[in-house]
A and B are shown apart, each in its own frame.
Chain A
Amino acid sequence: MSKWMLIPCAVLAAATTVTAQDARQVVAEAQARSTTKSQRYEGRLQVVDAGGKTSEKRWTYTRLGSHGASKTIIRFTGPAEVKGVALLIVNFPDRASDQWMWTPAINRERRIATQDRRTRFFGTDFSFEDLEERDVDHHTYVMEGEETLEGERCWRIASTPRPGRRSQYTRSTLWIRQSTYSFAQVENFNGSTLVRRLRYRDMASVQGIWSARTLEMHDFTRNSRTILTLESLTYDVPLRDDQFTVQALQRS
């Protein structure tokens, strides 16, 4: 191989390293800016099926910790038939989460099988994997360029699960707002097929953290949408570890 061919290859390799690092740095910065000790909100879920029929659920969401090492309790508050159903999710940085569900109708907690994180969460368009907290180190990133999305200038970043990291998605495309380092959109693919698109809307600074107060998940395989509206969103709520145990789930 001639040295003239080596030089462009070396330049290209260096450029790729720089842009890959930049992409990771953008995602890391977005994660750093959204890292909090805890979070609480009241969520309103509207599921719109392919025929346009809408069903609604409400929950309270409480999380302790952030990004990969967190504990979450989701407690349904409506409609009446699911009121009181609660879910404890314990996320780990290096493996699938542990999950328990408390069903007041049978007064029993039940450990949930989590082999298939593609499973939709309570019939919504969010899968269990979509609800897990992701850490920046779970994926590799490549900067694909810049784009304007809904009037905001964004970085467009390709994200691929690291080898050994199990995911239903073979790749994702992230749009991160340049002005606030907040997520604007995530498209999740299986091969070349777009499976789900998550849009982060209705942005507001809550305690200095740019937060979406509306999340819209579109499942293209079913052509249905779930709109999650976050109300009474607060961060760094004083919470204790003993509020996120299976015993605590029962009294939630």
Chain B
Amino acid sequence: MLLACAGPTPAAAQPQTFEQRGYLDLTLTGYPQEALNDPTQAVGDLLFRHEVTWRKGSLKIDGAFDTRVDTNDMTERRMALTYWDRTIQRPLFAARRLSASWAYKRLTMDVGKQFVRWGKTDILTPTDRFTPRDYLTVVNTDPLAVTAARVAVASSTDSLEVVLTPRMTPSRMPLLDQRWVVLPPLPPGLSIADRGATYPEGPQVGARWNHIGRWLEHSVSVFRGYDHLPALPVSLVPGTGVLEVRREHPRLTSVGGDMAAPLPWVTLKAEAAWLGSDTPGAQELVLYVVQAERQVGEWLFIVGYAGEHVQREPSTFRFSPDRGLARAVVGRAALTIDSTRSLVFESVVRQDGDGTYARAEYSHALGAHWRLTGQAALFRGEDGDYLGQYRRNSFGAVTLRFSY
């Protein structure tokens, strides 16, 4: 009723448009080394993503649907369409996005499965609490949408958004029996069993205010909900020698802010968030990032530091790609060679030197529909380091994409 009455023009009098696009990705990944828990050295991955948009006046409906298969059991074989993204493996068929958006002057309302992205930094985004990710291969992560109602009011200088999600969407961590989970050597007679996940059912809320000033753009955000990254309590089943691992998501409260200052020589960006929890044994810390970026001709350079100040360590294991990138210097250089070709180099070096990650990517559009991308990634370091533990996971990959 509100939608029908508040618009300046009756929706029926406005033209409707329907747009669609999508792509088919075929990725072949090769690992020169076997992992201790995973002898697989070649993986093929196929993704078909189709996106549709329907508009009528100020009403917009977005949908995106994924179909996946791979050769390494990362994808379920269940023939069902997944909406909630709460599966341990990637779903075979998934509604990646399904949302309705309505805008009237300065007000925007979004309802449904949507992406809510907060933060300004690229290396690590401590305030981006509504963006779980698919971490199955840790390096090439894909954001996951959340089911939410979002209301935003924006002027040319200020915006305020409030987000409510009825239930959380977890990040998808690497599979326990694959190379992106590096387990410590177990004593003889002990084995590990994946007992799935326990997901909380409560709602999550958050709000963010952003201001664009002449010299500084900054925002403040608060979040109350659950950590989309799992804690991994381990328990020994008496008399069996089986260690059971399950995923749990502690409550999380976050207060943070971010800023971008376009200075004469560099654009300075910074972001920080305090992450606390009332769940017993959960971690409490401040994550922060400072980065500088500068465009020089066709090159974009980003250099930054991601840090943490830990107030309370978690009492259980935790899958922590956020903290895995903290206490590290991160650099990225991207070159636009011409309208069809680009080159990217990026690296992460832990400040204690215990872990290093470097990646190079070359991408070349072939005509209007095809793109070929090649990448190579190198991990080096110590077993106890988040990056160093993946030193057997250096890889090369080729992706062929057909877009339509």
Contact = CB atoms under 8 A, between A and B. Distances in A.
A49 B106 CA distance: 43
A241 B156 contact: yes
Nearest to B101: A251
A79 interface: yes
B340 interface: yes
A55 B117 contact: no
A61 B235 CA distance: 60
Contacts of B294: 113, 115-116
Given A80-B21, A111-B120, A115-B264, A248 B338 contact: no
Contacts of A113: 262, 266-267, 293-295, 300
A56 B403 CA distance: 14
A106 B365 CA distance: 19
Given A242-B155, A244-B156, A251-B108, A116 B297 contact: yes
Interface string B291-306: 0011111101000000
Nearest to A55: B339
Nearest to B264: A115
A92 B201 CA distance: 48
A242 B104 CA distance: 9
A212 interface: no
A83 interface: yes
B286 interface: no
A228 B361 CA distance: 30
B371 interface: yes
A205 interface: no
Interface string B377-401: 0000000000000000000000001
B154 interface: yes
B369 interface: yes
Nearest to B142: A106
B212 interface: yes
B18 interface: no
Contacts of A247: 108, 152, 154, 159
A47 interface: yes
Nearest to A222: B338
Contacts of B403: 79-81
Interface in B84-130: 101, 103, 105-106, 108, 115, 117, 120, 122
A124 to B, nearest CB: 6
B79 interface: no
Contacts of A71: 156
Given A113-B267, A246-B212, A56 B293 contact: no
A245 interface: yes
A246 B264 contact: no
Nearest to B19: A83
A248 B152 CA distance: 11
B167 interface: no
Contacts of A108: 115, 117
Given A116-B294, A116-B297, A98 B262 contact: yes
A93 to B, nearest CB: 13
A66 to B, nearest CB: 17
B365 A55 contact: yes
A246 B219 CA distance: 13
Contacts of B60: 251
A241 B404 CA distance: 33
Contacts of B345: none
A245 B153 CA distance: 11
A122 B339 contact: yes
A80 B23 contact: yes
Nearest to A53: B340
Interface string B21-54: 1110000000000000000000000000000000
B80 interface: no
A79 B338 contact: no
A192 B269 CA distance: 38
Nearest to B267: A113
A119 B298 contact: yes
B311 interface: no
Given A47-B339, A57-B339, A106-B143, A246 B154 contact: yes
Contacts of B340: 55, 123
B260 interface: yes
- Point out which of A107, A109, A113, A123 has the most chain B C-beta atoms below 10 A from its C-beta: A113
B268 to A, nearest CB: 10
B103 A107 contact: no
Interface of A: 47, 49, 55-57, 71, 78-81, 83-84, 90, 96, 98, 106-116, 118-120, 122-124, 224, 240-242, 244-248, 251
Interface of B: 21-23, 60, 101, 103, 105-106, 108, 115, 117, 120, 122, 143, 152, 154-156, 159, 210, 212, 217, 260, 262, 264-267, 269, 293-298, 300, 336-340, 365, 368-369, 371, 401, 403-404
Given A110-B122, A122-B339, 12 more contacts: A47-B338, A55-B339, A79-B403, A81-B23, A106-B143, A111-B260, A111-B262, A114-B262, A124-B339, A224-B338, A242-B154, A251-B108
